[in-house]
Amino acid sequence: MRMRLILAAVLLAPALPAAGQSQPGEGVSYADILAGFDHPEQWLSYSGDYTGQRHSPLTQITPENVDRLAPVWTFQTGTLSRGRGFETSAITYDGVLYVTGSNNYAWAIDARTGRAFWEYQRDLPNDLTYGRAAPVNRGFGILGNRLFMVTLDAHLLAFDRRTGDVLWDTVLADYKIGYAATGAPLVIDGKVIVGISGGDFPTRGFLDAYDPATGERIWRFWTVPDPGAPGSETWSNPDVLSRGGGGTWMTGTYDPELDLIYWGTGNPNPDYYDEDRAGDNLYTNSLIALEADTGRLRWYYQFTPHDTHDWDANHVPVLADVDYRGEPRRVVMLANRNSFFYVLDRVTGELLLGKPFTATTWAREIGPDGRPIVLNEDGSNGCLPDQWGGTNFYPPSFDPELEIFFVNFRETCATYVPQAPVIEPGVLSVGGVVWVDRDQEWGGLRALDIETGKPRWEFRYPSATMAGVMSTAAGLVFAGDNEGNFAAYDSRTGENLWHYQTGFRIWGTAATTYMLDGRQYVLVPSGAVLIAFALIE
Residues involved in catalysis: 312
Give CA torsion, residues 57, 61, 62, 63, to 10 deg: -120
In the complex, minimum distance from the CB of residue 72 to another protein, in angstroms, rounded to a whole number = 22
Phi, psi of 513 (to 5 degrees): -145, 150
User: Per CB under 8 A, does 78 bind another protein?
Assistant: no
> From the CB of residue 344, how many other CB atoms can be counted at a distance below 10 Å?
25
Which residue's CB is nearer to another protein, number 215 or number 390? Answer: 390
User: Per CB under 8 A, does 499 bind another protein?
Assistant: yes
d(CA 211, CA 115): 32
In the complex, minimum distance from the CB of residue 99 to another protein, in angstroms, rounded to a whole number = 21
User: Per CB under 8 A, does 493 bind another protein?
Assistant: no
* Residue 179-208 contact track with another protein, rule CB under 8 A, x = bound: ---------------------x--------
User: Per CB under 8 A, does 176 bind another protein?
Assistant: no
What residue ranges in 362-431 does DSSP mark as E strands? 363-366, 372-374, 397-399, 404-411, 414-418
User: Per CB under 8 A, does 83 bind another protein?
Assistant: yes
**Residue in 95, 121, 435, 452 binding another protein, rule: CB under 8 A:** 435
User: Per CB under 8 A, does 344 bind another protein?
Assistant: no
d(CA 224, CA 159): 31
DSSP 222-252: ESSPPTTSTTGGG-S-GGGGGG-B----S--
Say which DSSP state 292 is in: T
In the complex, minimum distance from the CB of residue 354 to another protein, in angstroms, rounded to a whole number = 26
**Residue in 215, 252, 432, 475 binding another protein, rule: CB under 8 A:** 432
User: Per CB under 8 A, does 485 bind another protein?
Assistant: yes
d(CA 137, CA 100): 6
DSSP 119-185: EEE----TT-SHHHH-------EEEBTEEEEE-TTSEEEEEETTT--EEEEEE-S-GGGT-B--SPP
* Residue 449-478 contact track with another protein, rule CB under 8 A, x = bound: ----------xxxx----------------
Which residue's CB is nearer to another protein, number 42 or number 361? Answer: 361
User: Per CB under 8 A, does 430 bind another protein?
Assistant: yes
In the complex, minimum distance from the CB of residue 272 to another protein, in angstroms, rounded to a whole number = 7
In the complex, minimum distance from the CB of residue 244 to another protein, in angstroms, rounded to a whole number = 19
User: Per CB under 8 A, does 62 bind another protein?
Assistant: no
Binding segment for another protein (CB under 8 A), chosen from 105-113, 204-212, 299-307, 438-446, is 438-446
**Residue in 428, 450, 529, 532 binding another protein, rule: CB under 8 A:** 428
Whether residue 181 contacts residue 100, with contact meaning beta carbons closer than 8 Å, is answered with: no
User: Per CB under 8 A, does 80 bind another protein?
Assistant: yes
Binding segment for another protein (CB under 8 A), chosen from 219-227, 230-238, 351-359, 424-432, is 424-432
Q: Which residues contact 70 (CB under 8 A, 6 or more apart)?
A: 533, 534, 535, 536
In the complex, minimum distance from the CB of residue 311 to another protein, in angstroms, rounded to a whole number = 12
Query: In Å, what is the CA distance from 33 to each residue of 29, 190, 211, 318, 333?
Result: 7, 12, 17, 17, 22
Whether residue 184 contacts residue 167, with contact meaning beta carbons closer than 8 Å, is answered with: no
In the complex, minimum distance from the CB of residue 251 to another protein, in angstroms, rounded to a whole number = 23
In the complex, minimum distance from the CB of residue 317 to another protein, in angstroms, rounded to a whole number = 26
List the alpha helices (DSSP H) in 323-384.
Answer: none
Which residue's CB is nearer to another protein, number 65 or number 463? Answer: 463
d(CA 202, CA 123): 25
- 63 preceded by a cis bond (ω within 30 of 0): no
Residues 278-337 that bind another protein (CB under 8 A): 310
**Residue in 363, 436, 511, 534 binding another protein, rule: CB under 8 A:** 436
d(CA 35, CA 40): 10
* Residue 112-131 contact track with another protein, rule CB under 8 A, x = bound: ------------x-x-x---
In the complex, minimum distance from the CB of residue 49 to another protein, in angstroms, rounded to a whole number = 30
**Residue in 28, 90, 111, 133 binding another protein, rule: CB under 8 A:** 133
* Residue 264-283 contact track with another protein, rule CB under 8 A, x = bound: -------xx-----------
Give CA torsion, residues 74, 144, 190, 314, to 10 deg: 0
d(CA 485, CA 435): 28
User: Per CB under 8 A, does 438 bind another protein?
Assistant: yes
**Residue in 339, 387, 472, 491 binding another protein, rule: CB under 8 A:** 387
Which residue's CB is nearer to another protein, number 277 or number 309? Answer: 309
Q: Which of 526, 460, 467 is nearest to 496 (CA)?
A: 460
**Residue in 70, 229, 433, 536 binding another protein, rule: CB under 8 A:** 433
Type of residue found at 199: G
Whether residue 337 contacts residue 72, with contact meaning beta carbons closer than 8 Å, is answered with: no
**Residue in 66, 172, 481, 488 binding another protein, rule: CB under 8 A:** 481
Site of interaction with another protein (CB under 8 A): 80, 82-83, 124, 126, 128, 132-133, 135, 200, 271-272, 310, 386-387, 416, 428, 430, 432-440, 459-462, 481, 483-485, 487, 496, 499, 501
